[in-house]
A and B are shown apart, each in its own frame.
Chain A
């Protein structure tokens, strides 16, 4: 499928939303420091410093707009499940402020059943691809949801570049393991490092995104900086954060959550209002910021784009 850029000539979300309003306190203080310093400089420079700029100039919007109001940057950056930075929703924003360590370049290994494996520095990995904004719904298995304007590129593009061979039936993803940087890993609440896995056709689906930013800014630590997966028709935990390895495999990997609760978390974990989690009903969800709950949509509203991949499968069995 060809992704046409800027079909409707829409502005990216980053240009229509006033960032300054949402910036968190630390960033706000940093900005103030810059302004304070800049005020000593000639006026032209000072003005430049006060303008919050997108980290991604010429960012194109895409066909993928949720058609719904995006959650605020504050909501997206302060309510996170990222157990590598603690198990409370608020701890990632507090503990990931310095993540990832800027003094060392982020490296991603691409290996397994492919013809072009390799180790990449983050910049080299991302550079060949056109970044675009995609506004996706995110549905957490816990029964809440958000709408997030991601910045990223199709995972399919990266996969094509790696040239998987005929044995590559699945794609496995691994999060960084570094308890020094990720204090939550000191306690074994999950079997670290976090691993996730997609079937190759799921990974190749045009919806599947490798995200490097949101709201026009680079990803913050708590959102899975510097690069993460976004699979919008699956429960949020499938969208693995802070990826260091992408491996093509013949057999499906037993993911971290499958190990933690095999009866509760299946390999597919597609958003499905008809298949309940043993501890939460999945028929409704609370959109963050809303009072009433709304009905959960099949495949999180992406039925048209993804349902064909599961035709003939018993989704109660393959949950």
Chain B
């Protein structure tokens, strides 16, 4: 049985919604403990980070497996990063700050982990806006690629945001950080390897 691109996309689309559905279900059935607001805020942020890691895994996985179809789901996974990050951000703005603009601005200036979280979220916006085919065409492949390297900053900043908000047990954010370092490292490694081969080829010719 071979999977068509369409089937793969539908599968990924539906399974990516499962965490959100589960959170809503758990919330309605009172399964999120004594402080459900904190739980949903934390979980939505964590899922944004998980999808970010998945998005970054696509390209190295394609190198390893040669399975080109993987490329077709990268954009969708990226948009799910935004979906979960948006929930996370809205929960903060609503249930933490009750849309009090003064408080929000004060919070962004005063607390480094909020500052980083805020800029990480806003960095997602240009990527979402330029995610459709028309925008890729308009920008041109090279510029589009350049812009979307912002993802690397977003990944690193998300891990720092996570690391900074944890009180004492830094293990989980450090593990995410390690995975992101490996995924970004794979790209650097590939780029260097490519450069050396090109040089070698040039030297021989």
Contact residues of A with B, CB < 8 Å?
Answer: 74-75, 78-79, 83, 87, 89-90, 142, 144, 187, 189-190, 260-261, 276, 278-281, 286, 288-289, 291-293
Contact residue range for chain B? 10 to 19
Residues of B within 8 A of A279 (CB): 111, 113, 164-165
CA–CA, A144 and B42, complex, Å: 15
3 A-B pairs with least C-beta separation: A79-B34, A87-B169, A75-B34
Which chain B residues in 97-114 approach chain A with CB under 8 Å? 98, 103, 107, 110-113
B38 partner, pick from A74, A144, A260, beta carbons under 8 A? A144
A293 touches B35 (CB 8 A): no
A/B interface sample: 9 pairs, CB < 8 A: A74-B34, A75-B34, A78-B34, A79-B35, A189-B168, A260-B168, A288-B35, A289-B34, A291-B37
B107: chain A residues at CB < 8 Å are 281
Closest to B38 in A: A144
Q: Are A83 and B35 in contact (CB under 8 A)?
A: no
**Which residues on A sit within 8 Å (CB–CB) of B171?**
187
Complex CA–CA separation, A64 to B128 (angstroms) = 56
Smallest CB-CB separation from A79: which chain B residue?
A: B34
Known: A142-B167, A189-B168. 18 other contacts (CB 8 A): A78-B33, A79-B33, A79-B35, A83-B169, A87-B167, A87-B168, A87-B169, A89-B35, A90-B33, A276-B110, A278-B112, A279-B165, A280-B111, A281-B111, A286-B37, A286-B38, A288-B35, A291-B95
B-chain residues with CB within 8 Å of residue A289 when the two chains form the complex: 34
List residues of B whose CB falls within 8 A of some A CB.
33-35, 37-38, 95, 98, 103, 107, 110-113, 164-165, 167-169, 171
Chain B neighbourhood of A89, CB < 8 A: 33-35
Contact A286:B35 (CB < 8 A) given known A278-B111, A279-B111, A279-B164: yes
Docked pose: A293 CA to B35 CA in angstroms: 12
**A289, B33: Cα distance in complex, Å:** 10
Q: Tell me, rounded to whole Å, the shortest Cβ–Cβ distance linking A119 to chain B.
A: 31
Min CB distance B7 to A, Å, is 38
